[in-house]
Homo-oligomer: A and B are copies of this chain.
């Protein structure tokens, strides 16, 4: 059993983009535009087609059994419009993920996006999380640590602002992947400096504040191999020792995925981060689409790097499935219902 903890629906049918474009145009014309949820005219056949020739084909080729599948991250766009904009868009995106998982229940388990919106309370996100998990069988969610889209003018993750969301995640036993969306700040490139910077930032916010200890059941996945964190493991452990931050306690709450697209990077991750804190992930089909001329494999074929890594079978089992099954208790429920 091989579980990819990090996949986004990046190949959605055209009607999805058309719905969003119309919504964005309306809210640009009138920032207070509310509109209605309306309908997204996507057929089951269109969904099948968008999945079978892309994500599912690659899963089969690479030998991945199940992907934790969420809406396209760069498209969440929480900075766009107002609270209603994010709410309707998130509901549609999550319902689309539910349909993908209904059509391919053996291959996908659903992870939701949240209708975050800068300056608005977190309440809508808590409600949508509950709807997705309780009513629709979702097993995880993505939380954007910077819904301002690269402006970083919102409250840090240790701020009380987030408390209702952390409490609900604990109550539902659902982990959160901390994943930003598109950058509107021209200083940051979305899938490079913004993603990697945000990963590092989320970890450091948790480390410096120690706030996660207030939520014993709270679990985060830091994507993209933890940003800069494993490469600077010594720096961060040293700073923690200097400042009295509890590094080991934090690691009770944190998991890193394996979305690091070369062998040396994966080897470093495996060397410094405890095996129990690593989850297999590829983020295909995502930021890097090409083939590495040095290996002849897709850059994002992270299973290839793990297969070649100097770790034993016990470690591989933990990383490929057992850690994920422990971290996502609702995944077992999904399996039983299949």
Q: How large is the interface on A (under 10, 10 to 19, 20 to 34, 35 or more residues)?
A: 35 or more
B290 lies within 8 A of A242 (CB): yes
CB neighbours of A146 from chain B (8 A): 187
B187 A242 Cβ-Cβ under 8 A: no
Residues from chain B with a CB closer than 8 A to the CB of A235 are 192, 224, 260-262, 287-288, 299
- Whether A299 and B265, one on each chain, are in contact in the complex, defined by CB atoms closer than 8 angstroms, is no
Given the contacts A186-B156, A204-B192, A268-B265, A225 and B234 also touching, CB distance less than 8 Å = no
With A146-B187, A185-B152 in contact, is A236–B290 under 8 Å at CB? Answer: no
Contacts of A196 in B (CB 8 A): 197, 200, 228, 232
Residues of B contacting A236 with CB < 8 Å? 192
Complex CA–CA separation, A207 to B287 (angstroms)? 15
Nearest B residue (CB) for A183: B152
Tell me if A214 is interfacial: C-beta within 8 Å of chain B.
no
**A265 near B233 (CB under 8 angstroms)?**
yes
Q: Does A338 contact B (CB under 8 A)?
A: no
Contact A238 B261 (CB under 8 A): yes
What sequence of 0s and 1s flags, for each residue 194-232 of chain A, a beta carbon within 8 Å of any chain B beta carbon?
001100110111011000000000000000110110111
**Closest CB-CB distance, A267 to chain B, in whole Å?**
8
Instruction: Provide the bound-state CA to CA distance between A270 and B37, in Å.
Output: 53
Task: For A265, list chain B residues within 8 Å (CB).
Answer: 231-234, 268, 272
How many Å lie between the Cα of A289 and that of B240 in the bound state? 11
A268-B231 in contact (CB<8A): yes
Assess the B197–A201 pair: CB atoms within 8 A: yes
Contact of A289 with B242 in the complex, beta carbons under 8 Å: yes
Distance (whole angstroms) from the CB of A155 to the closest CB of chain B:
8
CB under 8 Å from chain B, chain A span 268-298: 268, 271-272, 287-290, 292
Q: Interface digits, A307-334 against B, CB 8 Å rule (1 contact, 0 not)?
A: 0000000000000000000000000000
| A residues lining the B interface (CB < 8 Å) | 146, 150-152, 154, 156, 185-189, 191-193, 196-197, 200-201, 203-205, 207-208, 224-225, 227-228, 230-239, 241-242, 260-265, 267-268, 271-272, 287-290, 292, 299-300
A-B contacts besides A156-B187, A234-B261, 18 pairs, CB < 8 Å: A154-B187, A187-B205, A192-B208, A192-B232, A192-B239, A193-B197, A197-B201, A197-B228, A227-B228, A231-B265, A233-B262, A233-B264, A234-B263, A237-B299, A238-B288, A238-B292, A242-B288, A265-B268
